[in-house]
Chains A and B, each alone.
Chain A
Amino acid sequence: MKKYSSMLLFAVLLFPSCMNEPAMQPNTYEGNFQALWNIVDTRYCYLDYKKINWDSIYTVYHTQIPAVNGQIAFFDLMGNMLDELKDGHVNLYSDFDESRYWKWFLDYPSNFSSDLIYTTRYLGENYRIAGGLNYGKINNGQIGYIYYDSFEDPFSDDNMAYVLNSFSTCRALIIDVRNNGGGSLDYSKQMASYFFKKTTVTGYIRHKTGNGHSDFSSPVEIVTPAHPTIQWQRPVAILTNRMAFSATNDFVNRMTQAPSAIIVGDRTGGGGALPLSSELPNGWLVRFSSSPMFNLAMENTEFGIDPTISVALSPTDQENGIDTIIERAITALK
């Protein structure tokens, strides 16, 4: 009995390493740099996909620490390091600034003007507002038009029911999500559900299972349900531009599988991963892409989704109060 008790005690003492916490970085420039670099190294999901040599980037930026003078300069150094990821879902937040990478839309034509869509040719001044949806009939009442500018803005099934009912005499619908920078995946799923006749697998998601750059779970299905009572089965066009990002990117991906939907405009901005966040010893928050999402063909959606019909906003049309992308969608919906 004594022998077995000793063995049990020995076994218990042998396992404390199972519960050793990782060493905390100190709240110094060096400590915060190491913490940020490690968070990205172990938890960012696109290092391999984007072929980023994160070790090399460590060397480049680590050597700049001694020259840093002050919190703002240090923040800029860290922000510049994060910009190497070229990811709109990667941000560093402090009390005085928020780092961001916006080239995913700044380097491209905007293909959208809010001045245009609120002219009398389109929504005008007397459009209706239901939740986050601005809507009205265009093209002599033949087309229902919804502008939804953020998936952070809520809308209810009742809102959508009223909207679609008001379009009961329209032959087609346009949902304009240009300049919609994203928001809630729940609203993305909800909006798409009105356009599916049956529950459909529309994509996949994976999450990191370890610290390795390629340690991912098996793909998990992302399903778009068919709304039980609110359905639009006539043609629908989704208008997109480079600023259609994140949850909007997810919505567009779902709608590529909807039976009567086409995508018109420019490639979306991407942002195909669910971001999570962590903290540095100095209390700064870092947001980073964590769980990559894929289309039905298991292709990454990080760099955006191509439209069915590629159209750019013509400056001439714009001067004449015409939105080329809306007009092309109207033509395609005939």
Chain B
Amino acid sequence: MRKIGLLSLVTLFLSTLSAQKVDDQLYLLTSKMNNIGLSVISLMDPYLSPLTYTGNGIQFEHESRRLWSLSNTNISMQNKIELEAGYLLNPAQTSSMTYLELNYRYGIHYHFKPMKGLLLLAGGSWDVGLGYKEVVRNINNPVNVDLATNLNLSGIAMYDLPFQKRILRLQLAVETPVFGWMFVPLAGASYYEMFELGNLSNVSHISSIINKRGINPKLTIDIPFNRTVWQVGLKYETLRYAANNMVFNKNQLSLLVGTTFDMISFGGRKRMAPVNFLSPND
């Protein structure tokens, strides 16, 4: 009888401990945003043509943000991947350009909370981008590649706006390149000479605010529904850079639609999910 009682007490004590562990443990959420967009693009690449090509494009963005650590909740990390594709025409519509771009960005921001409902993030990011532009009609210079990496200044403002029964989140994000490196060939050098004959002189350029300027404000609204938070927004990008006596520019206006959600992940031996988190794999 005593043994049963003792066993019951021990079991009760252990289960109590377990419950306390679930209630007191803090977890970092990762905010994820996925957007698709339709764009209007104008682009000038003097290596391919002296004319400005204009047209439409589509893009996909995936962004995730997470606080730095449980012990430091004033800093957050950002990872972002962007894919773009565009089809552009010259002014006379006698020639077309296919445009593809892939960009990865990693950012770190410090959080400021000047007032209730307003969150300001200030910091920087590093990005690396690969672009491909093709004008099939061209002879021996049908393709130009954009390859660049940048350090950027970055800022985000978020404001929670109560609206009827919802809290809408307005977000304005802005970024501008400050310093980096870019690949820009000489106007008279063919890709045959550069990559078959291995002559890569004058293709490597340091970029700074002197020869590369851009800004890409993005305004979005998060609208929560029963189970999903939808995000709609507008993004404008303008970029101008110069090297080898050529000035390149790109202007793009995009309408974005997507979803945003917070998620938490468990995995491995040290980050096992507590018992009150149910997995379909159990």
Contacts and interface: CB of A to CB of B under 8 A. Distances in A.
Interface in B92-130: 92-95
A275 B193 CA distance: 12
Nearest to A219: B199
Interface in B67-83: none
A331 B45 CA distance: 55
Contacts of A22: 50, 247
Interface stretch (B7-15, B31-39, B238-246): B238-246
Interface in A279-298: 279, 281-285, 287, 290-291
Nearest to A217: B201
Interface string B177-210: 0000000001111101100110101100000011
A67 interface: no
Contacts of B241: 19
B197 A277 contact: no
B44 interface: yes
Interface stretch (B135-143, B227-235, B254-262, B267-275): B135-143
Contacts of A274: 140, 190, 192-193
A207 B188 contact: yes
Nearest to B47: A276
A217 B93 CA distance: 35
A105 to B, nearest CB: 20
A209 B186 CA distance: 7
Nearest to A216: B188
A314 B95 CA distance: 47
A281 B92 contact: yes
B50 A276 contact: no
Secondary structure type dominating chain B contacts: loop
A21 B247 CA distance: 6
B140 A208 contact: no
A220 interface: yes
A186 interface: yes
A275 B210 contact: no
A35 B51 CA distance: 11
Contacts of A287: 139
A95 interface: yes
A279 B44 contact: no
23 contacts: A18-B211, A19-B213, A20-B247, A22-B50, A27-B92, A43-B187, A186-B196, A207-B188, A207-B193, A209-B186, A209-B188, A209-B202, A211-B245, A220-B197, A223-B197, A276-B138, A276-B139, A276-B190, A277-B137, A277-B141, A282-B92, A283-B93, A285-B137
Interface of A: 12, 15, 18-22, 24, 27, 35, 43, 45, 95, 185-186, 205, 207-211, 217, 220-223, 274-279, 281-285, 287, 290-291
